[in-house]
Structure 1
């Protein structure tokens, strides 16, 4: 990924300072426009930044090769996360907090960033995705995550045909050991998102990020 990824912003640069930042990571084969419409359905206080992944994948982009691809490695995940982190470090100072939202493979990115520097983020929203197997890579500071117990929303359909059951089970175990978890199951969304789920995400962001920030003042 180049130092400055392609990013869609919900506000012009002059309107961003002093706002909480919500960074969106799309799924495999999609792009930064795929989830950008969600911005209008979430609390308006947030500045939303939807980031394009670095690798070409079909009609869109990918954060790293799929697990069944011979070119997959944990290093590919950490390199992608490190590049995003460098960009985030260049913009985060203007914002009151940073929250991450990822769909499918984008959830791997959001949770990997959290697992590297958990104190940097107000909360994480993961939709129809999973957390990667760290395979002992020191990039993932899961002890620090467990100590902080960050707020995570995890929404999915038990009938999701895309995410392997082994990945779901491993994610469930990780979440219960490391996060303050809000877990919601949906019927009929398969590997997707519906209005009910976005409503719940909006409530989570309101209570766990915006209200929590007000209470901390």
Structure 2
């Protein structure tokens, strides 16, 4: 996978066949709840697989590589401050992920999503596109994208049937701008059943306390355990 030269259009993701890391062999996945991980900007599919040891073992975890090469890793779409950013680029990428999910969904009892940083934008965009399609969503140190009125985002349907959502972040995170935090908070409080937890001294990362809360959230929400 190569990065497009400046001023050129990125390769289409319409036929994207993602690189995916799985926590279980294919013979052990049937009938299990699926948790799909979306990494952050300039990371890759290996970045979040270390979380698996801290999550309920009942889940099959799939960590997906973003479609576009970016620096030392990959990105889901251009940064919003870049000249090549558009909501259409977000929609193209998330549509490709949704197509891939359609190929694996039937093997699992449910599908949940977890995204970190830019990966949270992917997870929330999937939820906004298919509001009834997921057991729950976990967003870590990330954001939602402005819809700009694009029909891809079915926000009214999401508000009508809100999904359980865990949002963890540090108020001292310097990567996600205050404007994006405010937009994300406003959307999550009106479109999901939100569990929001703030962490100190974490900055733009994930810590063990947060992972313990995510494990508890997934156990209660998807597995029905308390």
Same fold (TM over 0.5): yes
Say which of 178, 189, 209 aligns to 1:176.
189
Which secondary structure state, in structure 1, belongs to the residue aligned with residue 132 of structure 2? helix
Unaligned 5+ residue runs, structure 1? 213-217
Partner of 1:215 in structure 2? none
Say which of 97, 118, 123 aligns to 1:110.
123
**2:182 is equivalent to residue 208 of structure 1:** no
Partner of 1:50 in structure 2? 63
**2:209 is equivalent to residue 189 of structure 1:** no
Which secondary structure state, in structure 2, belongs to the residue aligned with residue 191 of structure 1? coil
What RMSD, in angstroms, separates the aligned Cα atoms of the two structures? Answer: 1.1
TM-score when normalising by structure 1: 0.96
TM-score when normalising by structure 2: 0.93
Partner of 2:30 in structure 1? 17
Which secondary structure state, in structure 2, belongs to the residue aligned with residue 211 of structure 1? coil
Unaligned 5+ residue runs, structure 2? 1-12
Once the two structures are superposed, residues 80-129 of structure 1 have per-residue CA deviations (whole angstroms, 9 ceiling, x without a partner) of 00000000000000000000000000000000000001111000000000
Instruction: For 1:170 and 1:3, locate their aligned partners in 2 and report how far apart those are by CA, in whole Å.
Output: 30
Once the two structures are superposed, residues 16-35 of structure 1 have per-residue CA deviations (whole angstroms, 9 ceiling, x without a partner) of 00000000000000000000
Instruction: For 2:218 and 2:86, locate their aligned partners in 1 and report how far apart those are by CA, in whole Å.
Output: 32
Residue 3 of structure 1: how far off its partner (Å):
3.4
Instruction: For 1:105 and 1:41, locate their aligned partners in 2 and report how far apart those are by CA, in whole Å.
Output: 21
Residue 148 of structure 1: how far off its partner (Å):
0.6
Which secondary structure state, in structure 2, belongs to the residue aligned with residue 190 of structure 1? coil
Q: How many residues align?
A: 213
Instruction: For 2:195 and 2:141, locate their aligned partners in 1 and report how far apart those are by CA, in whole Å.
Output: 14
Say which of 54, 60, 63 aligns to 1:41.
54
**2:160 is equivalent to residue 123 of structure 1:** no
Residue 209 of structure 1: how far off its partner (Å):
1.0
8 A contact 1:3–1:86 mirrored in 2: no
Instruction: For 1:3 and 1:73, locate their aligned partners in 2 and report how far apart those are by CA, in whole Å.
Output: 19
Once the two structures are superposed, residues 129-171 of structure 1 have per-residue CA deviations (whole angstroms, 9 ceiling, x without a partner) of 0110000000000001001111100000000010000000011
**2:170 is equivalent to residue 150 of structure 1:** no
